């Protein structure tokens, strides 16, 4: 660490991920010299407290990043497109949580447990990208398996909470649930599927071929994080009526077989992961129950050594390790080794 | 049809599946000469109307099946173990919806769209088994694909409603949702996972190896229905906070590649299935929206001809085609060709 403490800005500071970034900075003891917070017009004026500092949330339009060391962007692709280059030009290093730079080879995409060294590439554009929740969780779990046994194919179904769609998603589930519990019918637009007490197999817009943009993004990010360009994937992202916490059913085909005992040993000690011992009945992580944890929680490990397959279930807090904590970990790497 | 009309009994007539069997008998115009209805003590005494007949629900202990042609069992494995042999001895043909006889080679396991001819095997024990919801839906969809391109491996995640656990499952989700919406905390036993606004990756008790009994059952039933003993499967059954309708994310590896156009043509015309055209935005079946339909609804078709894979999403009414309607279709086969 070259500096004693860093000047940090959070853009989107009142959104679901921005709030968790501020929380993670404090909880993890990130050395803060100053904190700026920016948001859209609706939420500016709020006060934010973080590690003894108090900051008023400002309109993003007023942002000046001269002297700022690190700028977290947690406000979507449009804001990232406008503000990432500006902040970088002002001399800051940007950590963006949107999908905008995920396939830009000049911007490193980083999950610290997986490819920490790649953060060095920040120098090219002064931007580092933090992946989406499924890519982060899958990379943490697949990384040690891939190193030992080569993951040839990954088939994944996600069980994603409405908070992945932000505060509007939360309001929709809350409102629909209330109406249905009171016996009222819902008045939804023609192209909107009900989410309360239902399951909606679409996260992101459809691309040609029937895959969604978010599914394609997760697959590409995973290949990049694992440095596995030939990895075959089938990822179906599904929204379920929960508020926080993402679940994932994962089925892997391996290049070389792994025994159940070896897989368990490998995953028990792997960084960023907590293995629930599934030999005891009903002991596995559920999404709502892992909220607040920073680890990717893994259970229901099933290994078929003859077929060289490994199946498991993951649960992760989508706003913490699935977004904010990963971004703050990237900041910790930058502070430790580069800034 | 050798008879004009049949004497039918429904055991478990007031349960979720039993009620739908009575409804399906009426809706599908099954030729009923007489209807008996049996239930446990709690619900006996209720009156059931079906196709102009009115029947009082009797205690199962009073059942005599002399002169009964067909007995539907929709009351779980214990009742099936006791009453299937008795009803068969009395001369009736039993159609059981529990898992009890699923791996008994002397009892045919039948999905009429898939292996109607197997019903002829009823003569051995006078029992026919109707599979569980995931096996029925998967068999209907995989059957035509397997015939054309050989399904080598099927990776499936289910999104199952609480009604799969009967009225107690429904009461649990209802009660928990109400408490949480009112800001109260839940008082659950230590080994019970909350289902409201959560996802629970367990349906059935765990077996050695980490698979549940219900997952093993679905896999075995699917292999039997498709007559595909070498089919490799990975099935993760997951409970989600919905009341009715099962969703499934399905990823198939094929022995011979199939083009997207060929897959679409094949599945559009297949029996018992409704293909939602997924090229239009947001047009796919969701579990809550297919409730009341008898077809297995299919959408999000994605074909990779180079890798010889076919991915899709299914939604099916778990109490209708997923249970009651399949059982009544078996009765229709028996009536048409054998009784």
Q: Which residue has the tokens 């990717």?
A: A296
- For residue A177, give the nearest of B181, B209, B211 by CB distance: B181
User: Would the pLDDT of B327 be above 60?
Assistant: yes
Distance CA A20, CA A40 (A): 17
Average pLDDT, integer, range B233-245: 98
3-class SS string, A270-314: CCCEEECCCCCCCCCCCHHHHCCCCCEEEEEEEEECCCCEEEEEE
- For residue B198, give the nearest of A200, A242, A284 by CB distance: A242
B185 and chain A in contact, CB less than 8 A:
no
User: Would the pLDDT of B1 be above 70?
Assistant: no
How confident is the model at residue B190, as a pLDDT? 78
A232 and chain B in contact, CB less than 8 A:
yes
**Confidence label for B278 from pLDDT (cuts 50, 70 and 90):** low
Q: Across the interface, do A240 and B302 touch by the CB < 8 Å criterion?
A: no
- What percent of chain B stands above pLDDT 70? 98
Q: Which residue has the tokens 């009715």?
A: B244
How confident is the model at residue B74, as a pLDDT? 97
Q: Do B237 and B155 form a contact (C-beta atoms < 8 A)?
A: no
Q: Extract the residue ranges of chain A whose pLDDT is less than 70.
A: 1, 278-282
Distance from CA of A308 to the nearest CA of B (A): 12
DSSP string, A195-256: -TTS-B---SPBPTTS-BHHHHHHHHHHHHHHT-TT-EEEEEEEE-S-SS-EEEEEEEEESS
Q: Across the interface, do B199 and A157 touch by the CB < 8 Å criterion?
A: no
How confident is the model at residue B282, as a pLDDT? 62
Q: Across the interface, do B282 and A199 touch by the CB < 8 Å criterion?
A: no
Average pLDDT, integer, range B3-20: 95
Q: What is the ipTM of this complex?
A: 0.96
A236 and chain B in contact, CB less than 8 A:
yes
Average pLDDT, integer, range B19-28: 97
How confident is the model at residue B45, as a pLDDT? 76
Average pLDDT, chain B: 94
How confident is the model at residue B97, as a pLDDT? 98
B65 and chain A in contact, CB less than 8 A:
no
How confident is the model at residue B232, as a pLDDT? 97
The tokens describing A169, both together, are 């998603």
Q: Across the interface, do B234 and A205 touch by the CB < 8 Å criterion?
A: no
Please report the residues numbered 76 through 115 in chain A whose beta carbons come closer than 8 angstroms to any beta carbon of chain B. none
How confident is the model at residue B222, as a pLDDT? 98
Interface test with A, best of B208, B209, B210, B281 (most A CBs within 10 A): B210
How confident is the model at residue A281, as a pLDDT? 57
B245 and chain A in contact, CB less than 8 A:
yes
Residues in chain B: 339
How confident is the model at residue B280, as a pLDDT? 60
Contacts of A282 in chain B (CB under 8 A): 191-193, 202, 206
Residues in chain A: 339
How confident is the model at residue A45, as a pLDDT? 75
User: Would the pLDDT of B51 be above 70?
Assistant: yes
Burial of B115 (0-12, 13-18, 19+ CB in 10 A): middle
Please state which of the ranges A46-60, A270-284, B44-58, B258-272 shows the lowest mean pLDDT. Answer: A270-284
DSSP string, B67-119: T-SEEEE-SHHHHHHHHHHHHHHTTPEEEE-SSTTTT-TTS-B--HHHHGGGG
Distance CA A256, CA A148 (A): 8
B191 and chain A in contact, CB less than 8 A:
yes
Average pLDDT, integer, range B119-146: 98
- Residue-wise pLDDT for A274-296, tens only, equals 998 766 656 899 999 999 999 99
Reading across the β-sheet that carries B6-11, which strands appear in turn? Answer: B47-50, B53-59, B32-39, B6-11, B70-73, B93-96, B127-129
Distance from the Cα of residue A193 to its chain's centroid? 25
């Amino acid at each position: 660490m070259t500096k004693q403490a860093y000047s940090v800005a959070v853009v989107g500071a009142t959104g679901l991920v921005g709030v968790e970034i501020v929380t993670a900075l404090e909880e993890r003891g990130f050395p803060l010299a100053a904190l700026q917070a920016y948001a859209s017009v609706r939420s500016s004026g709020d006060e934010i407290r973080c590690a003894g500092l108090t900051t008023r949330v400002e309109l993003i339009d007023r942002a000046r990043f001269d002297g700022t060391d690190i700028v977290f962007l947690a406000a979507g692709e449009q804001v990232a497109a406008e503000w990432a280059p500006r902040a970088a030009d002002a001399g800051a290093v940007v950590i963006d949580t949107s999908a905008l730079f995920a396939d830009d080879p000049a911007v490193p995409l980083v999950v610290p447990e997986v490819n920490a060294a790649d953060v060095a590439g920040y120098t090219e554009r002064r931007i580092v990208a933090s992946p989406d929740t499924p890519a982060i969780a899958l990379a943490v779990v697949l990384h040690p398996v891939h190193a030992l046994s080569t993951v040839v194919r990954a088939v994944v179904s996600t069980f994603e909470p409405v908070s992945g769609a932000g505060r509007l998603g939360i309001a929709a589930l809350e409102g629909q649930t209330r109406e249905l519990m009171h016996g009222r019918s819902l008045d939804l637009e023609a192209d909107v599927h009900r989410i309360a007490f239902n399951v909606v197999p679409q996260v992101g817009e459809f691309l040609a071929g029937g895959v969604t943009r978010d599914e394609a993004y997760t697959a590409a990010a995973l290949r990049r994080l694992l440095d596995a360009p030939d990895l075959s994937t089938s990822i179906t992202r599904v929204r379920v009526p929960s508020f926080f916490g993402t679940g994932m059913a994962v089925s892997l085909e391996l290049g070389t077989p792994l025994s159940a005992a070896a897989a368990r040993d490998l995953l028990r000690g792997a960084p960023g992961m907590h293995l629930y011992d599934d030999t005891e009945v009903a002991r596995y992580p559920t999404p709502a129950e892992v909220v607040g944890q920073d680890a990717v929680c893994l259970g229901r490990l099933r290994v078929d050594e003859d077929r060289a397959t490994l199946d498991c279930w993951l649960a992760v807090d989508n706003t913490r390790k699935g977004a904010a904590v990963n971004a703050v970990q990237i900041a910790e790497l930058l502070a430790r080794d580069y800034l």
